[in-house]
Amino acid sequence: MLISELKPLEEILGYLEGETNIFVLGCKGCAEVCETGGEAQVIQMREDLEKNGKKVVGSTVLDFLCDRALIKLRLKPHEDEIKASDSVLVMTCGVGIQAAAASLGKLTHPACNTLSVGGAQGEWPGSERCGQCGNCLLDMTGGICPITMCTKSLVNGPCGGTKNGMCEVEPDVRECGWHLIYERLKELGRLDKMKEIQPLKAYSKMQPPKNLRSTVMWALEQREKEQ
């Protein structure tokens, strides 16, 4: 299961600065179990946003938001609401947020941080979508993960080696993650986001909380230490 936590409301409101009409998207998969993006959290988020002067133009909770192939189809009934929104706030793991961003052609904001993918990568095929960094940056990248899509996990733009849209590390096979981010933001008319400077990444947050590290192996090791 992909484990996520809700970002603080102030951080979310910061993402939404200058925007009024918001569509809220939740997930009935892992996010519902984690209580970060189920029906109850989406209702609460609607209230919180409205209390803070936003207009929620629509919301829904989909089964397995990480299933990219089905997102568009399932959101068909909400097409007009999404079109009328300034952005979509996505309440789920990093894989689900990326799947929504890739499908909607709308600016998406993450409402959650992903703490652990628990050995799974969601329903969207591709083995390395989310690096469980614990402080999701998808807001500034148009919904493309810089931790997994950039070979060096750079968070403040490309290195000097990118050429013709390809990564210098594997120029024959791998697109430059920051080239993809640039193209996505350009498409969304939000290249200004490339200018935001990210603080040094707190890599300590990549260590899952103790209660999530209780794999069988980890538990056995702990018991050995206690004996």
Chain centroid to Cα 48, Å, comes to 20
Choices 31-39, 118-126, 158-166, 183-191; region in contact with ligand SF4 by CB under 6 A: 158-166
- Residues pairing with 3 in the sheet: 116
Determine, following the binding rule CB under 6 A, whether residue 154 of this chain makes contact with ligand SF4. Answer: yes
Residue choice 152, 190, 193, 205 for contact with ligand SF4 (CB under 6 A): 152
Question: Out of 59, 103, 108, 162, which residue is the one contacting ligand SF4 (CB under 6 A)?
Answer: 162
DSSP 28: S
Q: What angle do CA 143, 149, 154 make, to 5 degrees?
A: 95
Q: Are strands 108-110 and 87-91 parallel, antiparallel or unpaired?
A: parallel
Q: How far is the CB of 107 from ligand SF4 (least distance, A)?
A: 16
Q: What is the largest CA-CA distance in the chain?
A: 62
Q: How near is the Cβ of 100 to ligand SF4 at its closest, in Å?
A: 12
Among 2, 158, 182, 201, indicate the residue that binds ligand SF4 (CB under 6 A): 158
- Separation of CA 155 from chain center: 14
From CA 170, how far away is CA 148, in angstroms rounded? 14
| 128-147 residues near ligand SF4, rule: CB under 6 A | 130-133, 136-138, 145, 147
According to DSSP, the residues that pair with 90 across neighbouring strands are: 25, 110
Pick the closer one to ligand SF4 by CB: 9 or 166. Answer: 166
Closest CA to 24 of 6, 198, 191: 6
170-189: contacts with ligand SF4 (CB under 6 A): 176-178
Binding of residue 25 to ligand SF4 (CB under 6 A): no
Contacting residues toward ligand SF4, per CB under 6 A: 94, 113-114, 130-133, 136-138, 145, 147-148, 150-152, 154, 158-159, 161-162, 167-169, 176-178
